[in-house]
């Protein structure tokens, strides 16, 4: 079914016809459908704001969602959105030109959050947290203006794992990015349909499709971050024991509150022996 060129969305035109790429594409589509179903993301007739940064992950997200929509498996409207945050050197024309060429409905929003962050954060400190909060606030606003019920992000399996270990090592809590989240106001969902997709698959897919990838280090803040340190640790574990990432990811889906230490999740005090 996926191999008929006359049936595909424009985002898949020119796709490699190799067996390896076809398997990759089917794997990504299958994993995305699994996440959509497992976490109850699809509300027929809803409208989604799909966030596009220009990185490999968001391109993969956009393509697979349109693939599912194209085939009648995702009965929602999709509006792609890029938030240009005023980072120096950001190629502002790349995404609009790409989306126009692909016939993808979209909104491009310019908000200079970069200057705000640079003004508020002392020199030498990382500013990803503030940047992320400002970005999320604007995306919530745009979603409401466009009548969307959900913001859809391109975080993949490895992002989720890295966030878990960052919280474990630095935050003192067991938490990560959930595939489905309701915002504090209770009016918008945040979805991560690529939750089961490996980062390496996103990279292989986007590069094989020759999508115009925009580098993620324009702000100059990435080197030396805690996330990069965690990624290096996970890379080392994966090299020494291939498949380790997937095992750890499955563990996040198999929590046992009675075998942890949080009394808010399990009533240890009320646990009683059976009396003879």
- Alpha-carbon distance 87 to 235, whole Å? 29
CA distance 126 to 202: 26
CB neighbours (10 Å) of residue 212? 12
> Can you say whether residue 149 is alpha, beta or left, with left for phi > 0 and alpha for psi between -120 and 50 degrees?
alpha
Two tokens, residue 266: 């399990």
CA 48 remoteness from chain centre: 14
CA–CA distance, 99 with 85 (Å, rounded to integer)? 18
DSSP 18-58: -HHHHHHHHHHHHHHHHHHHHTT---TT-EEEEE--SSHHH
**Please, which residues have CB within 8 angstroms of residue 258's CB and are 6 or more apart in sequence?**
266
In sequence order, which residues have a C-beta less than 8 Å from that of residue 163 and are 6 or more positions away? 175, 176, 177, 227
Q: Which residues neighbour 101 within 8 Å (Cβ) at sequence distance 6 or greater?
A: 10
In what helix (H) or strand (E) does residue 79 lie, and over which residues does it extend? strand 77-84
| 275 annotated among ligand-binding-site residues | no
Q: In terms of DSSP bridges, do strands 150-152 and 106-110 run parallel, antiparallel, or are they unpaired?
A: unpaired
Residue 174 phi, psi (nearest 5)? -95, 100
State yes or no: 128 annotated in a binding site: yes
- Annotated ligand binding at 51? The verdict is no
Report the binding-site residues for [4Fe-4S] cluster. 128, 131, 219
Report the binding-site residues. 128, 131, 219
């Amino acid at each position: 079914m996926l191999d008929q060129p006359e049936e595909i969305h424009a985002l898949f035109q020119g796709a490699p016809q190799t067996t390896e790429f076809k398997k990759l594409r089917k794997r990504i589509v299958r994993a995305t459908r699994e996440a959509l179903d497992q976490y109850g993301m699809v509300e027929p007739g809803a409208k989604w704001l799909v966030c596009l940064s220009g990185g490999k992950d968001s391109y993969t997200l956009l393509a697979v969602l349109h693939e599912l929509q194209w085939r009648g498996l995702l009965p929602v409207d999709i509006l792609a959105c890029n938030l240009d945050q005023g980072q120096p050197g950001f190629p502002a024309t790349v995404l609009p030109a790409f989306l126009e060429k692909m016939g993808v409905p979209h909104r491009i929003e310019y908000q200079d959050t970069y200057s705000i962050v640079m003004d508020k954060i002392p020199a030498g400190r990382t500013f990803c947290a503030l940047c992320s909060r400002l970005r999320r606030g604007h995306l919530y606003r745009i979603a409401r203006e466009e009548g969307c019920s959900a913001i859809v992000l391109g975080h993949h399996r490895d992002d989720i794992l890295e966030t878990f270990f960052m919280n474990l090592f630095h935050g003192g809590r067991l938490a990560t990015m959930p595939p489905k989240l309701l915002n504090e106001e209770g009016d918008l969902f945040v979805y991560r349909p690529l939750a089961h997709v490996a980062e390496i698959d996103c990279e292989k897919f986007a590069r094989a499709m020759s999508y115009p990838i925009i580098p993620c280090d324009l702000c100059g803040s990435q080197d030396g971050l805690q996330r990069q340190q965690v990624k290096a640790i996970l890379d080392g574990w994966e090299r020494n024991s291939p498949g380790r990432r997937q095992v750890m990811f499955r563990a996040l889906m198999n929590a046992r509150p009675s075998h942890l230490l949080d009394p808010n999740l399990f009533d240890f005090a009320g646990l009683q022996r059976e009396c003879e």
